C-alpha cells in the first residue's frame, strides 16, 4: 500500500515538473514569436537538459504519465485545425502529385536506410512521419500509435529539427541561386519538403532575390497550402506503421481521434465558416501546442542523454539529412519536368 502511494505521488510530481517545463517552452515561443523555434522541440530539450544536469536519481518515476494523457488529447484539436478538407479547393492536381512524390521519397529513404542502419522500427516510423509530414506534430501523433519509447521520440525529433534547420538556412538558398529558381517554385519547394511549419515560414520570409512569377505576398499562402496537403499523410502513415509494428489497438485509437478531429473541423468550416475562422481557429493551436509541450517535456525528462547522442542518434541524423536532400532533388526534378511538358 505504501509503495503504491509513493508511486502515485511520484507520478504527480513528474506531471507537475512536465507542466512547468512545457509552460516555459510555450511561453518562450509566444513571447519571442521566432518562427524557427518549435515549442515541442524546446520543451523536450528542456527535459533532457534538466535530467542530464541533475541526474536520474533526482527525478520521480512515471514521468511519461503526462505524455500518455496529453498526446491523445491534442490529436483531436490538431486534426480540427490542420486536416481540414475545405482547404483543398485552392490546390490543383499537379501540386498534390508533387507533394505525394516528395512524401513517398521521404518514406522510402527513411525506411530503407533505417533498416540498413538497424534502427528500431519505432524510430524509423517516427523519422519517416516527422520528415514527410509535419515534424514535431507528426512525431507526437505517431508515437502512441507505434508504442514508441522516449528515446525513439527524442532521436526522431532532434534529427528532423537539425535537418530542417540546415536545409532551410544553407541548402535552400544555395539551390535557389544555383538553379535560378523563381519565387513560385521556391515557395512550392518549401511547402513540399520542409518538415516544420515554422521553418516553412522561415524559408519564405528569407527567400533570396529571385524572379517573381507570383506576387511576393502570395508566396507564403502557396507554401502553406502545399504543406497542408501533407497533414493528410497521417491517414496513411498511422495504419501503415502501426500494422508493421503490430500495435493494432494503439494505432486504431490514434487514427480514430485524428479522423474525428478532421471530420469535425471540416464540417464546422463548411457549415459555420465565420465561427470556425474567427472563434475556433485561434484557440485550437494553443490547446494542442500547450498540451503537447507538457507531453514532450515529460518525454525529455525520461530520456538518458546517452541514449540520444550515440551511434544510433548519429545514424538517425544522417538519415534525416539524406531524406531531406533526396526529397528536394525529387521535387525539383518533377517540377521542372512538369514545366517542360505542360
Per-residue pLDDT tens digits for 196-208 = 999 999 998 877 6
**Residue of 119, 185, 133 lying closest to 164 (CA atoms):** 133
- Sorted by where each begins, the domain ranges of the chain are 2-341
> Cβ(91)–Cβ(284) under 8 Å?
no
46 pLDDT band, cuts 50/70/90, is very high
Average pLDDT over residues 3-28: 74
Query: Mean pLDDT in the chain?
Result: 87
Per-residue pLDDT tens digits for 209-227 = 888 888 888 899 899 989 9
Characterise 155 by phi-psi region: left (phi > 0), alpha (psi -120 to 50), beta (else). Answer: alpha
**Is residue 1 over pLDDT 60?**
no
All three cell numbers of 47, joined, read 527535459
> Cβ(203)–Cβ(190) under 8 Å?
yes
Average pLDDT over residues 138-145: 92
Per-residue pLDDT tens digits for 240-295 = 998 888 777 788 889 999 999 999 988 888 888 888 788 888 899 999 999 999 98
Average pLDDT over residues 124-139: 94
Per-residue pLDDT tens digits for 66-112 = 677 788 889 999 999 888 777 666 677 888 899 999 999 999 999 99
Separation of alpha carbons 131 and 231, rounded Å: 12
Average pLDDT over residues 154-166: 94
CA 283 to the chain's CA centroid: 19
Separation of alpha carbons 93 and 103, rounded Å: 15
Separation of alpha carbons 300 and 302, rounded Å: 5
All three cell numbers of 325, joined, read 536532400
Average pLDDT over residues 235-239: 92
> Cβ(63)–Cβ(297) under 8 Å?
no
All three cell numbers of 321, joined, read 539529412
**Is residue 51 over pLDDT 70?**
yes
The set of residues, in sequence order, having a beta carbon less than 8 Å from that of 7 and lying 6+ positions away, is 61, 62
Looking at residue 307, its pLDDT comes to 74
Separation of alpha carbons 15 and 18, rounded Å: 5
Amino acid at each position: 500500500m505504501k509503495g503504491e502511494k509513493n508511486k502515485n505521488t511520484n507520478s504527480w510530481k513528474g506531471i507537475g515538473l512536465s507542466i512547468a517545463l512545457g509552460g516555459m517552452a510555450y511561453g518562450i515561443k509566444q513571447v519571442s514569436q521566432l518562427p524557427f523555434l518549435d515549442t515541442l522541440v524546446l520543451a523536450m530539450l528542456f527535459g533532457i537538459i534538466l535530467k542530464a544536469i541533475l541526474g536520474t536519481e533526482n527525478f520521480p518515476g512515471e514521468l511519461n504519465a503526462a505524455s500518455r494523457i496529453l498526446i491523445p488529447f491534442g490529436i483531436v484539436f490538431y486534426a480540427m485545425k490542420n486536416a481540414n478538407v475545405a482547404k483543398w479547393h485552392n490546390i490543383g492536381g499537379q501540386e498534390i502529385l508533387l507533394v505525394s512524390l516528395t512524401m513517398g521519397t521521404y518514406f522510402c529513404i527513411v525506411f530503407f536506410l533505417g533498416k540498413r542502419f538497424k534502427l528500431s522500427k519505432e524510430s524509423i516510423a517516427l523519422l519517416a512521419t516527422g520528415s514527410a509530414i509535419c515534424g514535431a506534430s507528426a512525431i507526437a501523433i505517431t508515437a502512441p500509435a507505434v508504442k514508441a519509447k522516449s528515446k525513439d521520440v527524442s532521436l526522431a525529433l532532434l534529427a528532423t529539427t537539425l535537418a530542417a534547420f540546415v536545409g532551410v538556412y544553407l541548402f535552400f538558398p544555395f539551390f535557389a541561386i544555383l538553379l535560378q529558381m523563381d519565387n513560385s517554385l521556391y515557395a512550392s519547394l518549401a511547402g513540399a519538403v520542409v518538415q516544420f511549419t515554422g521553418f516553412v515560414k522561415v524559408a519564405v520570409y528569407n527567400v533570396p532575390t529571385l524572379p517573381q512569377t507570383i506576387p511576393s505576398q502570395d508566396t507564403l499562402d502557396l507554401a502553406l497550402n502545399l504543406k497542408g496537403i501533407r497533414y493528410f499523410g497521417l491517414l496513411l502513415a498511422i495504419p501503415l506503421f502501426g500494422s508493421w509494428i503490430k500495435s493494432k489497438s494503439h494505432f486504431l485509437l490514434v487514427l480514430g481521434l485524428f479522423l474525428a478531429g478532421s471530420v469535425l473541423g471540416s464540417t464546422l468550416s463548411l457549415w459555420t465558416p465565420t465561427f470556425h475562422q474567427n472563434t475556433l481557429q485561434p484557440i485550437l493551436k494553443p490547446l494542442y501546442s500547450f498540451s503537447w509541450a507538457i507531453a514532450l517535456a515529460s518525454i525529455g525528462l525520461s530520456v538518458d542523454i546517452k541514449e540520444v547522442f550515440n551511434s544510433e542518434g548519429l545514424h538517425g541524423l544522417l538519415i534525416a539529412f539524406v531524406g531531406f536532400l533526396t526529397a528536394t532533388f525529387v521535387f525539383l526534378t518533377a517540377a521542372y519536368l512538369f514545366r517542360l511538358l505542360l
